[in-house]
Amino acid sequence: MTHGQIDGLELPSRGAKRLAGPVDSRGSVLDGLDALVGVIEQSDVGGHSKPSVSLTPVTRAYPDPTRGDSIAGEQRSPCQRGAGVSHETVWDDVIDEGTQDVLDPGVPASLDRAPDVLVIGGGVIGLSIAASCRQLGIERVTVLEGSVLGAGPSRRAGGILAPEVHAMLHPGPFVDLARAGLQRHREWSAAWDGATGLRDRDYLLVSDSEVPEALRRLAGAQALAPADARRREPELGPWPHVLLLQHQASVHPLRLILALARRAGSIATGVTVSAFDTSGNRVVRVRTSAGRVTPGAVVVATGEAPRWLLPLAQVQVKGHIVATTPASFRLRGIVASTIAALQLDDGRLVCGGTFDAGDRQPLVRDAAVARIRAEMTRLLPASAELEIDRAWCCFRPCTEDELPVIDRLPGLSNAWLSVAHFRTGLLLAPAAGHAVASWIRSGVRPAELAGLGLDRLAPARLAD
């Protein structure tokens, strides 16, 4: 399909006006391990009245603390490691010379600068949108990424895909989208010869208090007696209340990113976006550090919505994850309390998914690692003999209701955004990507995106 052939999408015109701002094309969908319990103590994240959103630029850009951006004059470095513990994730083990070229191609001479769709952000959300566009017949797709693909928490997540947990947190259309996400993960795995590392896993959710029956029904959860739970998962510690969520899954985050990158179209890394040029209600040019791009449509998938573009209330919620040395025992599924744990094929445990309220430092905290270890030992007493081999942290972008924003940009007919996926980026990516691609292709908002629009959120209260 050539530029301008998507329903209603036209070639750029002259006489454009410029919307400038410090747009960062780093695609970071900050997604941690899914655990049911965890209270985010947010301060001043906006009211609850209906917003009046505009494209009026504001002067303050919201930095990404995981990338070393400056906040109020303080220079921050990427997440650092504690003594004797590697800061690399377990997923980075698959990186070699060949995969590095996929993750960081630079700016190729063949970069398509007049694509049908331009995606800003090369995390799992942006790549899923790009790959979905191509699956729907939109061949000319370009992805711009400010660092390397998946440089943010897209590949620092725990990899758990558990939509039924969210049925107890956010019942309704969001859960339908999450379930569709898992189904599309399975379809991708089958079509791509298992390239994403998908594994089907049952999920045991344990607690000291009984989960109300009404919530259990929403998730199709089965309550297990302690003895039955131990028969199903022999290494499980003594917990009074255990719920079984069957047929959940996990994915290898970096293998997923690599598989998507190979199907996403034209990709450039190390490219930042500085402005949109508009004419009427259309984006006609995008100004980047690698020159101008003239797309038919634009999708912003930068993790957090750029504040100059959309002054919405957003926070970054920090989380920690650890990996152990290989265990001699084998887990049969995922176990979770206030954290969640799964086991890799080589025997290592991946455990965490904390909510570190108020911590904006991109450092691995010894205290957070100690809390994860204590809870992991309570979940799986035999894990007390294991050493912590790796520990890392990430920052997950979150709106006031903890749900993502997937919508058309106000006042523009050919620009969309899919941001603030908090801890569900990996889970939602296939379904959310397909929904955005179909919206671009048809011009009709998909029903599965109900409740995820901008109209539910309040404008941000920006600091001076």
pLDDT tens digits along 415-464: 999 999 999 999 999 999 999 999 999 999 999 999 999 999 866 543 33
Note whether residue 52 is domain-resident. Answer: no
One-letter amino acid at 435 equals A
**pLDDT at res. 18:** 52
In a domain, 19, yes or no: no
Show the DSSP H helices in 86-207 as ranges. 97-103, 124-135, 163-167, 173-191
Q: Taking residues 216-224, report their average pLDDT.
A: 97
Domain CATH number, residue 406: 3.50.50.60
pLDDT in tens, 221-252: 999 999 999 999 999 999 999 999 999 999 99
Sheet strands side by side (includes 273-279): 17-20, 273-279, 282-288, 291-293
- Report DSSP state, residue 363: B
Distance CA 118, CA 297 (A): 6
Domain count, the chain: 2
pLDDT for the residue numbered 322 = 98
**pTM, to two decimals:** 0.84
Angle formed at CA 54 by CA 52 and CA 58, multiple of 5 degrees: 115
User: Looking at the domain assignment, is residue 79 inside a domain?
Assistant: no
- Spatial contact of 103 and 257, defined as CB atoms under 8 Å apart: yes
pLDDT of residue 19: 53
Q: Which residues contact 86 (CB under 8 A, 6 or more apart)?
A: 389, 390, 391
Q: Mean pLDDT lowest for which of 122-126, 291-295, 308-312?
A: 308-312
Gap between the Cα atoms of 10 and 329, Å rounded: 59
Q: CATH number, domain at 231? A: 3.30.9.10
Alpha-carbon distance 104 to 99, whole Å?
9
Note the Cα 5 to chain centre separation in Å: 30
Domain final position from 383, 398, 413: 398
Question: What amino acid is encoded at 128 in this protein?
Answer: S
C-beta neighbour count of 377 within 10 angstroms: 15
For residue 435, tell me if it sits in a domain. yes
Those residues whose C-beta lies under 8 Å from the C-beta of residue 191, and which sit 6 or more positions away, are none
Q: Answer whether residue 188 shows pLDDT above 80.
A: yes
Q: Domain containing 129: what range?
A: 97-153+256-312+401-449
328 and 391 in one domain?
Answer: yes
**Which domain-ending residue is among 356, 380, 398?**
398
Same domain (yes/no): 231, 325? yes
pLDDT at 58 exceeding the cut of 50: no
SS3 of 163, please?
helix
Q: Is the pLDDT confidence value at 76 over 90?
A: no
Token pair for 209: 């208090």
Q: Answer yes or no: do 219 and 102 share one domain.
A: no
How many C-beta atoms lie closer than 10 Å to residue 5's C-beta?
A: 14
124 lies in some domain: yes
Residue 422 lies in a domain: yes
